[in-house]
Structure 1
Amino acid sequence: MHFVSTAPNSGALPTTPGVVGSPGGDKMPIIRQYLRIALRWRYVIFGVTAACFILGLIITLLMTPKYTATSAIEISRESSQVTNFQGVERETSVADQEFYQTQYGLLRSRVLAERVATQLRLIDDKTFFERFGINQDDPAFQEISGRYAANGRKERQRIAGEILLKHVGIDPTRLSRLVEIHFTSPDAGFSQKVSNAWAENFIQTNLERKVQATSYGRNLLQRELGQVKDRLDETQRQLVTYAEQQRIINLPSQGNGENSTSERSIVADELASLNTALSQATADRIGAEARSREAGRSGQSNEALRNQAINSLRQRRAELAAEFQRLMVQFEPEYPPARAIQSQINQLDRSITLEENRVSGSVQADYRQAAENENALRRQVERLKSNYLDLRRRSIQYNIYQQEVDTNRALYDGLLQRFKEIGVAGGVGVNNIAIVDPADVPKAPSSPKLLINLFVSLVAGLVIGAALAFALEQMDEAIADPGEVERRLGLPLLGSVPKVEGVEPREALLDRKSELVDAYLAIQTSLGFTTQHGVPRSLAVTSTRPAEGKSTTALAVATMLARSGKRAILVDGDMRSPSIHHLGGVDHDRGLSNFLAGNDDISQLTFEMRDLGFTAMSAGPIPPNAAELLTGPRLKLLLQRLLETYEHVVIDSPPVMGLADAPLIASQVEGVVYAVESHGIRSSLVKTALQRLLGANAHILGGVLTKFEARKAHFGYGYDYGYGYGREKTNKGS
C-alpha cells in the first residue's frame, strides 16, 4: 500500500477555515531544497557544464602561447653613503610607506614605458606592432619607402608605451624591499629584453632624477652665491670708508668665532695697558708710603733690618763687644788691647748709623717717586677715557656696518660650503636601486594553462548551470512532486495517482492489483481522516481545467467506497461535457439535468455499474445554461434525497476556471477533493481556482496529484516506491 505523506508544510495558499489541514509546519531545509533543484535540473546543469568545459578546452587550444619573463630589483630607502655630504633629495624614514608606493607608481609610469620602447627601438619596429595586433590604419603608421614616416613617431611612441604598460606587471614582494617586474608576450626572447630593459631604465631614470635635483640645487645656490657676494663686497666698502672718515683704527683680535670678524681699537688697548700700569703704580705708592711711615715712627725701617751691609756691621760689632767683655773680666778698660777693641766698636757704630741714615733717605725718595708716577699715570688714564668714550660714540655706525659684513660673510661661507657638498654628492652617482635577478628567457609558456583553464571552465559551467537551474526553477510553476501540493498550494495531500499508460482507467480499477487501485485506496484512507465521521458523505471532485483526471478520481473514489461495503452513488455533475455515461455504456438522455429541471423520479435517472459495484447518475441532456439549474434549490434537494438511500454521494464536478458550476456544486457538498495534474498545470492557475472555491465557502478536503510519474519528479521524497512494492517479486513467482 502507498502511504500518503502527512508532513506539514507552509504552502503558498493562506490558511483559511475552509481548508482542512492547512499547512503550518516547518519548511524544507534549505540544503535539501537546493539539492532537489540540482537533481531536478541535473541535465541542464550537466549540459551547461559540459558546454563550458568543451568551450574552455577549444579556447585554450586556440590561444597563442605567451611567455612571461621576470626580473627582480631591490629598492632601498636610503642610498649607500660614499661621502658625508647630502644631496638635495629628501631622505625617507624607515616607516615611510609613501616612498615605496611612489616607487611602484614610477615603475608603472607612462614615461618609463615610452623610454623602454625608445631604447629597444620599438617605435619604428613594424613586427612589434603586428605582434600585439595593433591596427595600422592610423596615420601614424603611414609608410614611406617601406619605413614608418617620421611625423608619426610621437604617436607611435605613445602607442608603444601603452602596449608595454598593458603587458607589464609590477609585483612587490610582501615584507621586503624586492619588486618583481613581469612582462608577457608571444615571444620569449622579447619578454626577456623588455623585462631587463624595464629594470635598467628604472635605475637610470632614478639616477637622472637625482642628478637633475642636484643640478637644479647647484644652479640655484650659484645664483644665491653671486647675490650674497655682491652684498658682502658692498658692506665691506661701506665699513672701510666710514672707518677712514672717522679715523677708527681697529686691530683684529685673536681666537674668535669662525663666521665673525672681531676687532679691538688701539685706544682700548692703550687704556687697558695704562689702567694696568696705574693699578701697579698705586700699589707701589701705597707700599712706599707704608715703609716711609714705619721708618718715621720707629727710627729704623724694615729696609735697614733687611740690609745686608748693616747686618754684617752689626754682626762684626757683636763679635768685638763679646771680645771686649771677655777682656774686661781680667783687665781694665785702659788695657791697650781693650782700648783697641773699644775703638773698633765705636767705628762700627758710626758706620751702622751712617748706613741706616742712607737707607732711610732711600725709602723716602722711593715714596716720593712712586707718588709722582701714580699721579702721572692717573692723568694719562683720564685722558684716554675721554678718547675712548668719543671713539665709542663714533663706532655705533661702524658696528652696524661690521654686523652686516659678518652676517653676509657667514651666509656666503655657508652657501659656498653647501655648493661644494652638492657638487661632490652629485658627482658620486650612488643609486638606491639594484638589480637582484635579471630576467632569463622563459623555457615554457606562462599561458594558456590547460589544467587551470579547464578547471575555471568547469567551475564557471557549474556556476552558470546552477544559476540557470535556479532561474528555471523560479520560472517553473508546474506541480512536479506530491510534496509541492502542500508547499505551493497549501493543500493537504490526500495522495498521488500514478500515470497509467496502455489501459483504460476502468480496466485498471477492475484489476485489484493495479497501481491505480493501490493509489486510490490510499486516497480513501486519507479521506477517512478529514472529518470526525470518516469519509464525507457528500463530496465533489473538481480540477482547475479539463483533462486533469478529476473524472477518473471521482470514478475511483466511488469504486473504493463500494468495495469497502459502502452504498455509493456517482453523479456526473459536468452537464457541459458529460463523461460518466460512457463508462456505463448508456446515453445521457436522463440524468442530473432532468432532476434539476423538475423530474423527481430519481430511479429513472440512475443506472447501475455492477462491475464496479456502485450506482451512477449521468449528467442528463445538456441544458442551455447549466449554472442557472445549479443556482436553484434542486441540487440541495437532490443531495438530501440521495443521502437517504446512499451512504456516500460522489459528484464529478466541472472544472473551476471560467465556469460558475464548480463553486455552486462545492458550496452544497460536505467537502471537495481537488485534482491537480502533475507537470500539467501552473500552480498560479490552481491558486486562483482555489481562491474561487474558498470564495464560495467550499470546504476543500485536500488535493490529489494525478498522472504522477516518479521518474520526472523532484528527488528526495520516495514516492516512486510504494506502487511497485512486491509486484516484481509476484510476477517472478507467477
Structure 2
Amino acid sequence: MLFWRWRKVVLGALAACVLLGLIVTLLMTPQFTAISTIEISRDSAKIVSMQGVEQDATDADQEFYQTQYGLLRAHSLAERVASELKLVDDPAFFALFNADKNGKLFSTAAGRSVPIASREIRLRAAGSVLLDNLRVSPTRMSRLVDISFTSPDAALSQKVANAWSKGFIQSNLERRFGASSYARDFLESRLQQLRVKLNDSERALMNYARAQRIITLPGAGKDGSEQSTIAFDLVALNGSLASATSDRVAAEARYQAYRKRPGETAEALTNNSLNDMRTKRSELASEYTKLLTQFEPAYPPATALARQIAQVDRSIAGEEARIGGAIRAGYDSALAREQALQAKVSDLESSFLDQRRRSIQYRVLQREVDTNRQLYDGLLQRYKEIGIAGGVGTNNVAIVDLADLPLRPSSPRLLLNLILAIFAGVSIGGLLAFLLDQSDETISDPSEAERLVGLPLLGSIPKLGGGTTPSEALLDRKSALVDAYLAVQTSLQFSTERGMPGSLAVTSTRPGEGKSTTALALATLLARSQRKTVLIDGDMRSPSIHHLIGTNHDRGLSNYLAGDSTAEDLLMPVPEFGFTAITSGPIPPNAAELLTGNRLSALIEELLRTFDHVVIDAPPVMGLADVPLIAGRVEGVIYAVESHGIRASLVRTALARLSSSSSRILGVVVTKFEPKRANKGYGYTYGYDYGQEKKKRSLLGD
C-alpha cells in the first residue's frame, strides 16, 4: 500500500508534528477566556405606533443580524472599551500582548514607563489589540451572542468581556438617539427650505393669475379641483345650446310634417275649434247628400246647404293656416335661439382657448405649488413623528450573562494539540507519500512493469540480503533466487513458437541493474535442465562474468572478433555451474568497431552447432552502440530492470533506441525486487520464501 511503502516518511512526519506540538504546547503562555452573553432582538419595543428612523428587520432578513455582528467588532467600540478601562495609559497592558515591540508607544526613564506616542495612536493600538483577541460567536438558531475575550490575565479577560457588552448597549442607544437627532435637524432644515419655496411658488402663481386675469373657482371641477369661470360658463352654455338644438329639431320636425299634411299635424288634430268645424261640415255634407238624392242641386235648400259647406270649408282652411303659422313661428324662434346660443358658445370657446394658452404657465406654477405643499406637509408630519418616537423606544440589546472570572486556562490544551499534531502529521505524511509516489517513476511493483515500459513481464527477482553473492545463491538450489529465475525460464519457454530461443542477449538501461546476474542464472538453469549452454561476456567495455565464475578475461570474445583466436580456443568449462563460458577478453580500444562485422554472427552459428543455447551478457543500452549490434544477431533479448532503481522514462527511452535495430525483445525481468517496498508486496513473498520459512520452522521444532 502507499502508506506502507512510504511508512518511514509518514512516521517521520507524524513524529515531527507530535514533537513540535508538544514543544509548542509547553512553551505557550496560558490564556484565560471570559465569555459574556447578550441578546439582540430584531427591533425595540415601541410605545407609539409610529415608525422609527431605522428600518424594521423581518424574520427572513439576516442583514440586520450581520450588521449587529459587524458593529460588535467595530474599532470604535474597541477604542471605547480601551478608554473606559484606562488601557491606553497602561504600559503593562501593551507588554502583556507584546504590542510595543519597537518601543514606539512607551519609553522607560528612571525606572518608569512614559508614553511617547500621542493618545490617539495609543488608543488605536489598544483597540487593535482588543479586537485581535476578541471573538463574537452567535448561537445558532437563536438571538444570543457570546462575546469572549482571551488574554494571559484572567481578571483582564473578565473586565473586557463585560465592558464590551455594556459598551455595545450604550453605543447602540447613542446611535439610535443620534440618528433621531440627525433626522430632526435634517428635517428641520428641509422644512425651512420648503416653506420658503412654497411661499415663493404661491406668490408667483397669484401674480401670474392677476396679470393674465385668470379667475378660477375652487372645487368647481369634477374631482374637486379648481375651474376657471370661462370654463364654468362654457359648460353651462353648452348645456343650453344642447337643449335649444333639441327644441329646434323638434320644431323643424313639426313644421315639415305640417307642410306635407297640414290637417294631420298634432296641433290640428288636438284643436277643438277645428274639430268642431270638421264635425259640422260632416253633418252639412250628409244633409246635402241626402237632398241630392231627391232634388236637383239648384234646389233652394240644397243651394243653401252648399253655401254653408263652403263657408265651413273656408273657416277650416283659415284655422289650419293659423295653426301652420304658429308652427312656423315656433320653428323660427327655436332656430333663432339656437343660433344665438351657438354664437355665444363660439365666443366663449375662443375666450377659453385663449385662456388655455395663457393657462399653460399657470398650470406649471400650480403643479409646483402642489408639489411643494405635499412635500412640506409630508416632512412636517414626519418631523412630528420623529419628535415623539425619538425618545420613547427601548433598547433592543440586553445582557443575558455577565462574564465570570475564568479559573482555568482555555489554552494551551495538551490533548487537543496532540490530536491536532497527530492529524497534521498523518496529513502531511500522507501528502508527502502521495507526492513522492507520484514523482517516483521507478518500477516498484512487477505488475506495473508491463504498463510502464510496454513489454511483457518474464519474472521478478528478489534482492539478495545477508551478504550473499549471486553465485552463492545460484549454487543453492532452494534459494529464492533460483526459484525466481526458474519462473523466468518457464516464461521463456512460451516466448517463441519453438520454445526457448537458441540465442539470447541480456541487457539493461545502465550498469548495475542485474543483467550479468540474469545471464549467469539463465545459463546455469539451462545447464541444469540438461541443455548444453555457453555464456558469452559481451560487455567488452566493463566485463563482469569472469568475476562471477572466478576466472580472468585474458582471452575471450575480443580476440575472436579481432580474428586472433578460434571459438574452440576460447571455450572455458565452468563445472561449478554446469555451462561453458567465453569471457570478454582484453578490453579493446573501440568495442563497437569489433561488433560491426559478421564475426559475432559467425560465432553464434558455430556455437549453436555444438550447444543448445547461447546466452550473451550484453552491455547496457544508454550511451553505447554495442547493444543494437548484438541484439540484431540473436533470436531474442531479455531486458533487466532494477526495481526501485531506475525511472521508467529512461527505460522507455532505451527501449526506443533498441527497437531501431532488427531485434526482438522477449520481455522484462524486474531485478533486486523488495516485496516490502512494493504497493502490493504481500503477494510476492509467498513463492520465494515458502521453502525457507518451512525449513526454519522445522529447525525451530515447529
Tell whether the 8 Å contact from 2:18 to 2:425 is kept in structure 1 after alignment. Answer: yes
Shift of 1:570: 1.8
Per-residue displacement from partner, 1:554-599 (whole Å, max 9, x unpaired)?
A: 2221221122122222222223344445666665454333332336
Aligned-partner Cα distance in 1 for 2:113–2:695: 91
SS of the aligned residue for 2:681 comes to coil
Q: What corresponds to 2:461 in structure 1?
A: 497
Distance 1:61 1:666, change over 3 A: same
1:543 is aligned, of 508, 512, 517, to: 508
What residue identity is the alignment partner of 1:202? F
1:166 aligns with 2:143: no
Aligned-partner Cα distance in 1 for 2:645–2:370: 109
Q: What corresponds to 1:157 in structure 2?
A: 123
SS of the aligned residue for 1:725 comes to helix
Per-residue displacement from partner, 1:269-297 (whole Å, max 9, x unpaired)?
A: xxxxxxxxxxxxxxxxxxxxxxxxxxxxx
Shift of 1:460: 0.8
Q: What corresponds to 1:722 in structure 2?
A: 687
Per-residue displacement from partner, 1:344-391 (whole Å, max 9, x unpaired)?
A: xxxxxxxxxxxxxxxxxxxxxxxxxxxxxxxxxxxxxxxxxxxxxxxx
Q: How does 1:679-690 map to 2 (within 5 A)?
A: 679-690=644-655
Per-residue displacement from partner, 1:430-476 (whole Å, max 9, x unpaired)?
A: 22222222222223322222222211111111111112222333343
Q: What corresponds to 1:216 in structure 2?
A: 182
SS of the aligned residue for 1:695 comes to coil
1:428 aligns with 2:396: no
1:472 aligns with 2:436: yes
1:180 is aligned, of 99, 122, 146, to: 146
Q: What corresponds to 1:595 in structure 2?
A: 560
Q: Which moved more, 1:651-660 or 1:678-687?
A: 678-687
Shift of 1:686: 2.9
Shift of 1:44: 1.3
Which runs of 5 or more structure 2 residues have no equivalent in the other structure?
A: 203-368
Aligned-partner Cα distance in 2 for 1:627–1:151: 84
Aligned-partner Cα distance in 2 for 1:592–1:410: 118
Q: What corresponds to 1:37 in structure 2?
A: 2
Q: Which moved more, 1:154-163 or 1:547-556?
A: 547-556
1:61 is aligned, of 26, 29, 39, to: 26
Per-residue displacement from partner, 1:506-548 (whole Å, max 9, x unpaired)?
A: 4443332333322222221111111111111111112233343
SS of the aligned residue for 1:729 comes to helix
Q: How large is the RMSD of aligned CA atoms in angstroms?
A: 3.6
2:668 is aligned, of 700, 703, 726, to: 703
Shift of 1:155: 0.9
- The structure number with the bigger radius of gyration is 1
What residue identity is the alignment partner of 1:188? A
Tell whether the 8 Å contact from 2:106 to 2:116 is kept in structure 1 after alignment. Answer: no
Distance 1:496 1:235, change over 3 A: closer
Distance 1:114 1:682, change over 3 A: same
Aligned-partner Cα distance in 2 for 1:408–1:703: 98
1:461 is aligned, of 425, 435, 438, to: 425
Q: What corresponds to 1:46 in structure 2?
A: 11
What residue identity is the alignment partner of 2:165? A
Aligned-partner Cα distance in 1 for 2:145–2:412: 24
Aligned-partner Cα distance in 2 for 1:61–1:130: 21
Distance 1:169 1:579, change over 3 A: closer
Q: Which moved more, 1:462-471 or 1:507-516?
A: 507-516
Per-residue displacement from partner, 1:69-128 (whole Å, max 9, x unpaired)?
A: 222222223322234555544444554433322222222211111111111111112221
Q: How does 1:138-537 map to 2 (within 5 A)?
A: 138-142=103-107, 146=112, 148-149=114-115, 152-219=118-185, 422-428=386-392, 430-498=394-462, 499=464, 501-537=466-502
What residue identity is the alignment partner of 2:557? L
Q: What corresponds to 1:298 in structure 2?
A: none
Per-residue displacement from partner, 1:629-682 (whole Å, max 9, x unpaired)?
A: 211122222222222222211112122222211211111101011223344444
Per-residue displacement from partner, 1:312-355 (whole Å, max 9, x unpaired)?
A: xxxxxxxxxxxxxxxxxxxxxxxxxxxxxxxxxxxxxxxxxxxx
Aligned-partner Cα distance in 1 for 2:519–2:52: 103
Shift of 1:603: 2.2
Aligned-partner Cα distance in 1 for 2:101–2:134: 22
What residue identity is the alignment partner of 1:47? G
Q: What corresponds to 1:70 in structure 2?
A: 35
SS of the aligned residue for 1:643 comes to helix
Shift of 1:604: 2.5
Shift of 1:625: 2.3
Distance 1:548 1:173, change over 3 A: closer
Shift of 1:68: 2.0
What residue identity is the alignment partner of 1:495? G
Q: What corresponds to 1:257 in structure 2?
A: none
Tell whether the 8 Å contact from 2:534 to 2:581 is kept in structure 1 after alignment. Answer: yes
Tell whether the 8 Å contact from 2:526 to 2:532 is kept in structure 1 after alignment. Answer: yes
SS of the aligned residue for 1:604 comes to helix
Aligned-partner Cα distance in 2 for 1:557–1:409: 114
SS of the aligned residue for 2:410 comes to coil
Aligned-partner Cα distance in 2 for 1:680–1:74: 67
Aligned-partner Cα distance in 2 for 1:99–1:688: 67
SS of the aligned residue for 1:129 comes to helix
Distance 1:717 1:159, change over 3 A: same
Q: What corresponds to 2:341 in structure 1?
A: none
What residue identity is the alignment partner of 2:559? N
Q: What corresponds to 1:648 in structure 2?
A: 613
Q: Which moved more, 1:496-505 or 1:110-119?
A: 496-505
Aligned-partner Cα distance in 2 for 1:611–1:136: 81
Shift of 1:701: 1.2
Distance 1:152 1:507, change over 3 A: closer
Aligned-partner Cα distance in 2 for 1:235–1:540: 114
Tell whether the 8 Å contact from 2:35 to 2:146 is kept in structure 1 after alignment. Answer: yes
Tell whether the 8 Å contact from 1:518 to 1:723 is kept in structure 2 after alignment. Answer: yes
Q: Which moved more, 1:117-126 or 1:686-695?
A: 686-695
Tell whether the 8 Å contact from 1:108 to 1:170 is kept in structure 2 after alignment. Answer: yes
Distance 1:457 1:728, change over 3 A: closer
1:553 is aligned, of 496, 510, 518, to: 518
Aligned-partner Cα distance in 2 for 1:481–1:234: 98
Aligned-partner Cα distance in 1 for 2:59–2:483: 85
Q: What corresponds to 2:593 in structure 1?
A: 628
What residue identity is the alignment partner of 2:657? R
Q: Which has the higher contact order (CA 8 A, sep 6+)?
A: 1
What residue identity is the alignment partner of 2:15? A
Aligned-partner Cα distance in 2 for 1:659–1:235: 106
Tell whether the 8 Å contact from 1:500 to 1:516 is kept in structure 2 after alignment. Answer: no
Aligned-partner Cα distance in 2 for 1:214–1:726: 96
Shift of 1:61: 2.1
| Count of matched residue pairs | 533
Tell whether the 8 Å contact from 2:99 to 2:129 is kept in structure 1 after alignment. Answer: no
Aligned-partner Cα distance in 2 for 1:727–1:562: 24
Tell whether the 8 Å contact from 1:140 to 1:153 is kept in structure 2 after alignment. Answer: no
Q: What corresponds to 1:616 in structure 2?
A: 581
